[in-house]
Amino acid sequence: MQAYISPPGRIQARADFDDPIQLLIACHDKVRRFAKLTAKLAEHVAREGADRQAIEAAQQIIRYFDIAAPLHHADEEVDLFPALAALGDPVLCEVLQQIEQEHEPLAQLWQAVRRWLLDVTNGLAIPPPAALASFVVVYPEHAAREELLIYGAATRLPDATLRSLGQRIVARRKTAPTDPAPPGISAPEFVIPGG
pLDDT given for residue 16 in this prediction:
56
In a domain, 9, yes or no: no
In a domain, 4, yes or no: no
All residues at 6 or more sequence positions from 174 whose CB lies less than 8 Å from its CB, including other chains: none
Domain count within the chain: 1
pLDDT given for residue 39 in this prediction:
97
In a domain, 147, yes or no: yes
In a domain, 15, yes or no: no
pLDDT given for residue 83 in this prediction:
97
pTM, whole model, 2 decimals?
0.81
CATH of the domain at 45: 1.20.120.520
First to last CA, the chain: 36
Predicted confidence (pLDDT) per residue in 114-154, tens digit: 999 999 999 999 999 999 999 999 999 999 999 999 999 99
Predicted confidence (pLDDT) per residue in 19-54, tens digit: 899 999 999 999 999 999 999 999 999 999 999 999
CA dihedral (144, 150, 153, 159) positive or negative: negative
Helix (H) or strand (E) holding 37, with range, is helix 20-48
Q: By residue range, what is the domain housing residue 128?
A: 20-174
